[in-house]
Amino acid sequence: NAGVTQTPKFQVLKTGQSMTLQCAQDMNHNSMYWYRQDPGMGLRLIYYSASEGTTDKGEVPNGYNVSRLNKREFSLRLESAAPSQTSVYFCASWEGGGLVGYTEAFFGQGTRLTVV
Amino acid sequence: GDSVTQMEGPVTLSEEAFLTINCTYTATGYPSLFWYVQYPGEGLQLLLKATKADDKGSNKGFEATYRKETTSFHLEKGSVQVSDSAVYFCALSDQGRDDKIIFGKGTRLHILP
């Protein structure tokens, strides 16, 4: 039971380079999320997907794009990396939705990204 | 919009001390409330939850009660251990309105032996 798997775990990029962070969950959850964690800022929501085929902006979406490839996978893309995007990125999933009782959110181990 | 405010850290306590980490929230609907814990180098994991007013969540000796009248969900533990050293996040989700989970900024807890 892998839960939520993120790749890569570590990445160093040069300013202006692009990359995609991958996330996959094996719990058949509808909702998936991308957060960034910065010192003193807690977790801030970048984008989320309440169901396959839908995506919505969170608190800090600028500079990012997402793709909900299927129910399992939700990727985060940085088209032109900037030093301000140096952070730890977490993917999460849970069985959300108004008609379904809440279950806990499961988090990946995180991707530590440094942009130089 | 919805938001969560929790006490600033770090909090440093001696082993066996009593712990309280304050958390208050703002929400327009009827949110579910959570405490998540993050150990060094790991992702977050659910510690406890409460889904309606006056519910008490508990796990591993930690407790928190959903207080609608004071919009609070304070985390308590009667006797902390060194192994409790971690970052604690209060969070809410109004799943009747959308599926977002909103987190507080986190409180780092250090327990001294």
**pLDDT greater at residue A106 or residue B24:** B24
- Judged against a pLDDT cut of 80, whether residue B96 lies above it is answered with no
DSSP annotation of A82: -
CB pairs under 8 A between A and B: 61
Task: Using a CB–CB cutoff of 8 Å, tell me whether A4 touches chain B.
Answer: yes
Q: Which of B14, B9, B16 is nearest to B86 (CA)?
A: B9
Q: How far is B31 from chain A (nearest CA, A)?
A: 11
With a pLDDT cut of 70, the percent of chain A lying above it is 92
Nearest C-alpha in A relative to B88: A42
Mean per-residue pLDDT over chain A, rounded: 90
Q: How far is B41 from chain A (nearest CA, A)?
A: 8
Mean pLDDT, residues B28-47 taken together? 89
Task: Using a CB–CB cutoff of 8 Å, tell me whether A64 touches chain B.
Answer: no
Whole-angstrom distance, CA of residue A5 vs CA of residue A27: 11
At A100, the pLDDT band (50, 70, 90 cuts) reads: very low
Q: Which residues of chain B have a CB within 8 Å of the CB of A4?
A: 43
Task: Using a CB–CB cutoff of 8 Å, tell me whether B29 touches chain A.
Answer: no
* Tokens 């608190």 sit on residue: A59
At A103, the pLDDT band (50, 70, 90 cuts) reads: low
Contacts of B100 (CB under 8 A, 6+ apart): A45, A48, A58, B2, B93, B94
**pLDDT greater at residue A50 or residue B26:** B26
According to the model, what pLDDT value does residue B90 have? 96
pLDDT digits (tens, 9 = 90+) for A30-81: 889 999 999 877 889 999 998 888 999 998 999 999 999 899 999 999 999 9
pLDDT digits (tens, 9 = 90+) for A12-31: 999 999 999 999 999 988 88
According to the model, what pLDDT value does residue B17 have? 97
According to the model, what pLDDT value does residue B8 have? 82
Task: Using a CB–CB cutoff of 8 Å, tell me whether B46 touches chain A.
Answer: yes
> Distance of CA B80 to CAs A40, A99, B56, B105, Å?
24, 38, 19, 22
pLDDT digits (tens, 9 = 90+) for B57-91: 999 999 999 999 999 999 999 999 999 999 999 99
**pLDDT greater at residue B3 or residue A99:** B3
Task: Using a CB–CB cutoff of 8 Å, tell me whether A99 touches chain B.
Answer: no
Mean pLDDT, residues B2-29 taken together? 93
The answer to whether the CB atoms of A109 and B42 lie below 8 A apart is yes
- Judged against a pLDDT cut of 70, whether residue A3 lies above it is answered with yes
- Judged against a pLDDT cut of 70, whether residue A88 lies above it is answered with yes
Whole-angstrom distance, CA of residue B87 vs CA of residue B39: 7
CB-CB contact of B91 with B4 (8 Å): yes
Mean per-residue pLDDT over chain B, rounded: 92
Task: Using a CB–CB cutoff of 8 Å, tell me whether A107 touches chain B.
Answer: yes
Q: Which residues of chain A have a CB within 8 Å of the CB of B32?
A: 102
**Phi first, then psi: what are they for A83, rounded to 5°?**
-55, -30
The answer to whether the CB atoms of B100 and A35 lie below 8 A apart is no
Q: Which residues of chain B have a CB within 8 Å of the CB of A109?
A: 42-43
